[in-house]
Structure 1
Amino acid sequence: MASTPLSDDSRLPSLSRPQLLLTAYTVLTVIALVYAASTSSAAFGVYNSQWDGAGELRDIAGEAGANVTVGTNVSQYPTTGADGTVAVVLSPAESYSSSEQARVAEFVQNGGTLIVAEDYRPHGNTLLAAVGADARFDGRAVYDNRNYYRNSSFPEATPAGDYPETAGVDTVVLNYGTTVSAGDATTLVNTSKYAYLDTNGNAELDNEEQLASRPVVTSESVGDGRVIAVGDPSIFVNAMLERGDNRRFVRNLLADHDAALLDYSHAGSVPPVAAAILAVQRSDALLLFCGVVLVGTLLVFDRRLDERLRDRLREYNSHDTDPQLSPDGVEQYLRARHPDWETAQIERVTEAVIKQRAERQRND
């Protein structure tokens, strides 16, 4: 018996050139919008993968064995069991309120390690004072006309002794950094004796500016915790991690901690997509809501898919196909008519067609 001819009317229609261009433009626009909403161009930003961002800081903390959290609220500082957590603050753009300062101070008092990296903004010193640290950032740019990476504004500093933070570190390279007035804190890294503080901002050594070795990184105990002051937040950015032994130094600072909190609560805005993800991670209620929405969407999609298959089945039953067509013939017919269908879908429809055909024959 002759079989039903295979139909080719199910092929996808070809798109015209304007339609192709519109489709490509739409896809590129969506990709650009998603990328823009999930990245940042802010200096020291953890979602900034450019040279001045700190996107690699998360990777370094993870490599050091810490569970990394990007903090957007000071409430994320643990106040109990803080001895296994290190928090990193990079040149905050805004001052911490009195209640926020108290939260960070409680974190340190209960055993947390706080790293504050600052150069010229005043908020780093305010935070150091609030948590009870003795160290302070000078705020003037430090230059070195003899020991530098590219020019005198990139002075090379060296460890002041054998400390865990400086293990395997020979040189720390600064980028327009400042020095730290140590007070009673321990100096971890010093400039060379040829460094000077540029008091008048002309980037030159003048008569009133003295050559001397000065601290650029200090460490001190505060309560049960520790505070580390770094006179240059640029040490943590992507490009500077590759200078000298900066990467090893940063990794040492984060090592031996179970958790690392990258505090961006006062460092400008976080990209919308990243902010939404972080909000969901912090809130059990939001996480449950998103789960319910996802499950509901899948159920609706599954129901519509079933309805679509039933509609297609009725369509096939209405065709004048050969009632004696074998299952292989039905499957061949479906593959020719719907080349975009997956094998599992074709098998389900074939089985349903054969089953309904048998039921009709019994009824007849």
Structure 2
Amino acid sequence: MASTSLSAGSRLPSLSLPQVLLAAYAVLTVIALVYAASTSSAAFGVYNSQWDGAGELRGIAADAGANVTVGTNVSQYPTTGADGTVAVVLSPEEPYSSRERTRIAEFVQSGGTLVVAEDYRPQGNALLAAVGADARFDGRPVYDNQNYYRNSSFPEATPAGDYPETAGVDTVVLNYGTTVRAGNATTLVNTSEFAYLDTNGNAELDNEEELGSRPVVTSESVGDGRVIAVGDPSVFVNAMLERGDNRRFVRNLLADHEAALLDYSHASSVPPVAAAILAVQRSDALLLFCGVVLVGTLLVFDRRLDERFRDRLRAYRGHDTDPHLSPDSVEQYLRSRHPDWESAQIERVTEAVIKQRSERQRND
């Protein structure tokens, strides 16, 4: 039987140009809202792909062989068997509570490696003190009028010796960073002897400010673990990874670890969509609930789609009309489907359809 075109009642409604434009605008708006809710513009943000974000940090950790987790809660720090985990904290905005500091200290004591990168905020030093480290961030910006990348606020620092963290690294470029008061910690990276700390904030070398080589990266053993202090969180951002040997240095910090925890529990740089996904990943109950909802939705949608498809297919192939239609409705349907038929032909087909339907109902 030759197929015929869809009936007028089964065709999709035609859209005017304003309607098409409105629909396109709505789609673009939804896409923009989803994108905005899944990205971040916060400095040091792991979901920020701009120059000041740390969007590339996850990729570097993964390339180094680590299983990467973006942490939004301190409870994600392991407190037993942590020797294969490195945790990275980039200039936290809010202080850690006493219970949270205890959790991180247990992580270090049990063998974890904690990397704290800070410049001017006080939370970095509070965290170092809480885990039992000797190193402290100075908090004053360091300048170098002789060895720098673009200007004296981008000083170039060099390795203080042969260490795994500085393997293949010739220079580490800072960006308005600070120095580290090492205490009993080992200095990994130093400024040049022409560096100075800008005490009065005028970005110039004054009489009371002294030139000298100072630590900017230190490492020390605490319990069974290690604490590494980096005097500039900007070393980890996307743009600065391309300066000097920063990328290689960051990769070295993350290498030889099975897991990397990027701690954003005290930063406002995790967007809502990403935070929701991370919450689901952490909770088996939420993951199961979302799975059940998704499967149920797909089943309902598939059933409705199947019913609509079958209705369209029956109409397209010229199958019987709705058994509940009256003779007048059948005649109207045939006229809409076959406007070229004569009235006598439509009447004969209508009678045949009604007769066939009556016989089928009796047989049933």
SS in structure 1 of the partner of residue 319 of structure 2: helix
> CA shift at 1:7, angstroms?
5.5
Q: Secondary structure at the match of 2:56?
A: helix
SS at match of 1:251: helix
Structure 2 residue 159 is matched with structure 1 residue 159: yes
User: Which position in structure 1 is the counterpart of 2:279?
Assistant: 279
Residue 139 of structure 2 corresponds to residue 116 of structure 1: no
Q: Deviations over 1:22-56 (max 9, x none)?
A: 01111110010000000011100001111000000
1:318 maps to amino acid:
D
Query: Residue 337 of structure 2 aligns with which residue?
Result: none
Matched residues in 1 for 2:18 and 2:4: separation? 35
Residues of 1 paired with 2:321 and 2:296: CA distance? 35
After TM superposition, give the deviation of residue 298 of structure 1 in Å. 1.4
Q: 1:294 to 1:210 in 2, by over 3 A?
A: same
Structure 2 residue aligned with 1:61: 61
How far does residue 15 in structure 1 lie from its aligned partner after superposition? 2.6
Q: Quick one: distance in 2 between partners of 1:163 and 1:277?
A: 38
- Opposite residue 193 of structure 2, the aligned amino acid is K
Contact between 2:46 and 2:269, CA under 8 Å: does it hold in 1?
no
Partner of 1:169: 169
Structure 2 counterpart of 1:127, which letter? L
Aligned to 1:146: 146
Counterpart position of 2:226: 226
* Distance in 1 between residues matched to 2:2 and 2:207, nearest whole Å: 102
- Give the drift of 1:12: 4.7
- Tell whether the 8 Å contact from 2:45 to 2:269 is kept in structure 1 after alignment: no
Matches within 5 A, 1:1-364: 6=5, 9=8, 12-312=12-312, 315=315, 316-318=318-320
Question: How far has the Cα of 1:99 moved from its partner?
Answer: 0.4
Cα shift at 1:267:
1.3
Q: CA deviation at 1:307?
A: 2.5
Give per-residue Cα distances to partners, 1:161-217, cap 9 Å, x unaligned.
000000000000000000000000000000000000000000000000000000000
Structure 1 residue 224, shift from structure 2 partner: 0.1
What SS does the aligned partner of 2:114 have?
strand
Counterpart of 2:87, as a letter, is A
Deviation of residue 19 (structure 1)? 1.1
Question: Contact conserved, 2:41 with 2:269, CA < 8 A, in 1?
Answer: no
Give the fraction of aligned pairs with identical amino acids, expressed as a percent. 87
Q: CA deviation at 1:303?
A: 1.9
Distance change >3 Å, CA 308–CA 12, structure 1 → 2 = closer
Q: Compute the displacement of 1:4 (Å).
A: 6.5
Paired with 1:156 and 1:199, the residues of 2 have a C-alpha distance of: 20
Match of 1:323 in 2: none
3-state DSSP class of the match of 2:119?
coil
Cα distance, 1:5–1:106 mapped onto 2, change above 3 Å: closer
- Structure 2-normalised TM-score? 0.85
Q: In the alignment, residue 68 of structure 1 is paired with which amino acid?
A: V
Q: What secondary structure sits across from 1:99 in the alignment?
A: helix
Unaligned runs of 5+ in 2: 323-359
Counterpart AA for 1:248 = R
The structure-2 alpha-carbon separation of the partners of 1:313 and 1:193, relative to structure 1 and needing over 3 Å to count, comes to closer
User: Which residues of structure 1 form unaligned runs of 5+?
Assistant: 321-359
Taking the aligned partners of 1:24 and 1:149, their CA distance within structure 2 comes to 47
Partner amino acid for 1:151? Answer: N
* Normalised TM-score (structure 1): 0.85
Q: CA deviation at 1:305?
A: 2.5
> What is the alpha-carbon distance in structure 1 between the residues aligned to residue 218 and residue 281 of structure 2?
34
Distance (Å, rounded) in 2 between the aligned partners of 1:311 and 1:137 = 72
Alpha-carbon spacing, 1:318–1:189, altered in 2? closer, same or farther (3 Å): same
Is the 2:47–2:269 contact (alpha carbons within 8 Å) kept by the matching residues of 1?
no
Superposed displacement of residue 304, structure 1: 1.5
CA distance in 2, matches of 1:174, 1:109: 30
User: Secondary structure of the equivalent of 1:188?
Assistant: strand
Q: Which moves more between the two structures, 144-153 or 15-24?
A: 15-24
CA distance in structure 2 between the partners assigned to 1:106 and 1:274 by the alignment: 28
CA distance in 1, matches of 2:135, 2:244: 25
Partner Cα separation in structure 1 for residue 2 and residue 16 of structure 2:
35
Q: Secondary structure of 1:219's match? A: strand
| Structure whose CA Rg is larger | 2
| 1:340 aligned residue | none
What's the offset of the Cα at 1:301? 1.4
